[in-house]
Chains A and B, each alone.
Chain A
Amino acid sequence: MKNSIKVERAKKNITQAELAKLAKVSRQTINAMELGKYVPSTVLALRLAQIFEVEISEIFTLEDSDWD
């Protein structure tokens, strides 16, 4: 799954640490998601969408490999 957390974060002009605080997770988790190493839970994904004030599908997109 691809995500545009980094882009959204840049738009809002906030750091990983600030986003982590807003989303109530550790900075390592934000970093891992941006690097595509971790797929967040639905709850965390919804939290991020609310923080960025966008639809969840604008942040997360499925890839072909997600159907395997």
Chain B
Amino acid sequence: MKLNFLFPNKFKRIGWFTLIPSAIIGLLILIYEYEPSFLDFNVPAIFVDELTFTANKKTFRMVTNNILNEILGVLIIISTFLVAFSKEKSEDEYISKIRFESLAWAVYFNYAILILTLLFIYDFAFLWVMVFNMFTVLLFFIVRFNWQISKLKKSASYEE
């Protein structure tokens, strides 16, 4: 039995149906800084660095936090995983090879972009880079892998 870390094919669809709305909502609440008060909760935190002049750093405390962005962040990450790592309809060894090559490519590409942004984007703008960077490695992978697969299907569509 082969262990390939992949989900069954049907999860890909579930992934897309979750990813698209949660990514759109996530972007909107990021832009409009929407924090509905009914989602304010006391939550446990491992590390707290309060933005005060005394610069209090504490560990293992309860803090009040709006959990909307946490919910969306988790939804986006899980659904991105489903899209990225669900089997193709005909997942075989060649598809797997393309999959893992695309993954390596995406990691290289993601960190190349990260180095560029480290060098040329500063202060608060860099925080935005970090927010997007949480998701980009898998997004780059999804784009690259699907592009390679569609290229493959096209090249194999005629048979001599």
Instruction: Please list the residues of chain A having a beta carbon within 8 angstroms of any beta carbon in chain B.
Output: 15-17, 24-29, 31-32, 38, 40-41, 44
Contact = CB atoms under 8 A, between A and B. Distances in A.
Interface of B: 90, 92-95, 97, 152-153, 155-156, 159
B152 A32 contact: yes
Contacts of A15: 159
B94 A38 contact: yes
B94 A29 contact: yes
Given A32-B152, A38-B97, A25 B159 contact: no
Given A15-B159, A16-B159, A28 B93 contact: no
Contacts of B93: 25, 29, 40-41, 44
27 contacts: A15-B159, A16-B156, A16-B159, A17-B159, A24-B92, A25-B92, A25-B93, A25-B94, A26-B92, A26-B95, A27-B156, A28-B90, A28-B95, A28-B152, A28-B153, A28-B156, A29-B93, A29-B94, A31-B156, A31-B159, A32-B94, A32-B152, A38-B94, A38-B97, A40-B93, A40-B94, A44-B93
Nearest to B94: A29
Nearest to A29: B94
Q: Which 5 A-B pairs have the closest CB atoms?
A: A26-B90, A31-B156, A29-B94, A25-B92, A28-B156
A58 B94 CA distance: 22
A38 B159 CA distance: 17
A29 B95 contact: yes
- The residue among A16, A25, A26, A41 with the most chain B CB atoms within 10 A of its own CB is A26
A27 B153 CA distance: 9
Nearest to B92: A25
Contacts of B97: 38
A38 B92 CA distance: 12
A14 B92 CA distance: 20
A45 to B, nearest CB: 11
A16 B90 CA distance: 15
A5 B94 CA distance: 16
